[in-house]
Structure 1
């Protein structure tokens, strides 16, 4: 067998990484990138003329087959979520193994593994959500981290999920010893509870009032407190879904003095505002998420934070709930904002929206790759296997047609939610072919691998 002949060659495309753009062929052998050059020969060839070839997206914030503290199961299975991800150009997700109070953490993680092994169509990893930091669960964490679950998600708000500062310090101490990343939903719980109670007392119960119930100051206060804990423990922390200019400013200042704090935002904070929640009846519930959508001035600050490098990841925070009695409207058609499940779908549209913004000149394509693939992979030590196009990396590749214009619609999306908050938005560019480890997962508008094709990825937080 000639070593110069590859299993597959992606020919004539414009290859885009976080640092470089060049016309090149990509040779794939045994699921990995074996060569990048010109004139490569393969047993199979995909012609990428006129296409951009990007590394598959790495979405490090996805809620899949996860039940809320109120007992509402979200709309996606691992099969539906990862199929949707693939159609959008994402080839790796980090989802959550979500512990609720009283649950054994090791059993929770094992249960999520069983579900993902049966359903996932792309590669995956897990953050462990810890809500019970008792001795039993703390004793289990070192082994779970060493088994490849290298990140711990904590909540600074929500009654059944909140972890107090003392517990955060204990978990930071453990994470520091084991080389794990701490990831945090940072909002001040008391401010949200106080504001919510007064809004409901005043009869302000419609979905749009959720934005007022989560004061922007609640995010800033919690981020400031988290920075102090991070600085005290010298433990790296990632702040999930930053939504306000004030929160971002605190992160930027901390990073400039050497604090190891990282931060992500999401397309909905970059492209939507609280005005999108102001809809008749319960329609606005589709745009409810936590933290809530903010102002146009926050959008501008977040884009500047991406440009400056103070925000390092764009994730989806995919939290899918159907707009019916199984999801958002479980408490009925007159439910208050406090009774409506928070979260929006976004796993399929994340890469599309960011690719469109790059073509519009808001960021470069290289920066888009960095924010949606390379740095997410680096943060959890999946790079260079994931998140880049380089010899030795997995052949997770997406062929984008930059000429295709599409108006997003609810019926186009492949997840289980039944709607997209970006319906009616026209975008430029489309992911036509999506490969995971050299195998076409999406091609010609259809999937070509069975549920369970995805593989578990071991992560760590060692930076």
Structure 2
């Protein structure tokens, strides 16, 4: 069993920062020690197999990305990252755990889909992984399956208010699922957009010849997100179910979440890097078909209307609790270009799993969030929200040896041919410069990234059987 000492760094947890050494024994953290400490009278550094010098660097918990879609079928194609390529890219960027979504389409058996996702992921992942379950056709069998899946460590279930005939659940179906969540403790997740309104706006735009990628955003206005967010909150309030709103992009939706939380409701929300940095004016409205690179749902919002600044503010004030990626990558050639001449056929998704930790660290550099809040929104809160805390999201004795050594004096240049390991033919973050760098990544005590080299292997990751959310009251 390998013993590793990470020495001389500044250990950053959500609760504070201090100079400390981290001792990892096998797969777990054995101790967090004052620098140069002895343990049972022995010089620790002299009795380990490996010492990692972290002087001048931050030592943080491995990132937890709680919203990914590896190999997801969508719009006649599949997300371009497999569990192997996507988790390897995540490791490069300092993420050591993902929670991916098991997809169920109408009339498919929920448990069959769960088994299918295990077949895809088991033995393929470079880092640890768990699953959420998408429910698209709420039948009595689906509700029974929720109880069975909780026993298997799937304790969160996602529903959609958009994508009619594919994922959309009507309000009555949502009510039944929320009632089940209220009774068994599951965290109910919601894609909150008014799909019926969006479908009409899309039909009208295409009929009028407005087919460029820009119109993907214009036909999904903020009102459709705010209304659906409010409706989901009201159904959660009616049933007593805890509610988590995914990929929040509109400041008006944040206000609905904040108001519910102020009333004491178990309502939570995430945003994504694209809603912190990118905009409809600069990216989605790019000339020609270039805007297709940034087609995702919910869509990018207007910078002129202040949505991006509001997302940062909400992270500071805890109106939003965490940042995930909604990583659902598609290549421009052969995938995004399915929507040439009709934006409604562009596969929805952006690839970011490799860059989330860096992009959020840039927020620290710019004074938007604190160092500790960086760790909180990218690692600690995701672990607590989805029943993994204690094992994930913290540097303390007994936790998994998921550790990132991050150099604040380093520099990361994002783009094809630079720091891009995702299975895509472009980068949504091309040319962006980060004032920081992931130097070393350990997953359960094994060094998987170090000194610009990937040292991990397919199958290093194991399935994480999650408990119930640790935020519920």
Fold shared, TM-score > 0.5 on shorter chain: yes
Distance 2:252 2:368 in 1: 22
Distance 1:67 1:190 in 2: 22
Q: Is 1:34 the equivalent of 2:34? A: no
After superposition, the C-alpha distances for 1:153-183 in whole angstroms (9 at most, x for unaligned) are 1111001110111111111121222221111
Other structure's SS at 2:73 match: coil
Distance 1:157 1:231 in 2: 21
User: Residues 23-422 of structure 1 correspond to what in structure 2 (within 5 A)?
Assistant: 23-37=19-33, 38-39=35-36, 40-41=44-45, 42-68=48-74, 70-159=75-164, 160-275=166-281, 276-296=283-303, 297-325=306-334, 327-331=335-339, 334-411=340-417, 412-422=419-429
After superposition, the C-alpha distances for 1:67-95 in whole angstroms (9 at most, x for unaligned) are 01x33111011000000000000000000
Shift of residue 6 of structure 1? Answer: 7.5
After superposition, the C-alpha distances for 1:373-410 in whole angstroms (9 at most, x for unaligned) are 00010001100110011111111000111112232112
Shift of residue 316 of structure 1? Answer: 0.6
Distance 1:6 1:281 in 2: 54
After superposition, the C-alpha distances for 1:238-297 in whole angstroms (9 at most, x for unaligned) are 000111111111110110001110000011101111011122221110011101100220
Distance 1:363 1:165 in 2: 37
Q: Contact 2:316–2:368 (CA<8 Å) still a contact in 1?
A: no
Q: Contact 1:10–1:46 (CA<8 Å) still a contact in 2?
A: yes
**Equivalent residue pairs, number:** 455
Distance 2:243 2:424 in 1: 31
Other structure's SS at 1:329 match: helix
Gaps of 5+ in 1: none
Q: Contact 2:198–2:220 (CA<8 Å) still a contact in 1?
A: yes
1:443 to 409, 431, 450: 450
Q: Contact 1:354–1:368 (CA<8 Å) still a contact in 2?
A: yes
Give the structure-1-normalised TM-score: 0.96
Distance 2:215 2:182 in 1: 39
Distance 1:31 1:127 in 2: 25
Distance 1:355 1:303 in 2: 12
Q: Contact 1:78–1:120 (CA<8 Å) still a contact in 2?
A: yes
Distance 1:195 1:212 in 2: 9
User: Residues 442-461 of structure 1 correspond to what in structure 2 (within 5 A)?
Assistant: 442-461=449-468
Q: Contact 1:181–1:460 (CA<8 Å) still a contact in 2?
A: no
Q: Contact 1:6–1:27 (CA<8 Å) still a contact in 2?
A: no
Gaps of 5+ in 2: 37-43
Q: Contact 1:188–1:221 (CA<8 Å) still a contact in 2?
A: yes
Q: 100-109 or 86-95, which moves further after superposition? A: 100-109
Distance 2:49 2:12 in 1: 24
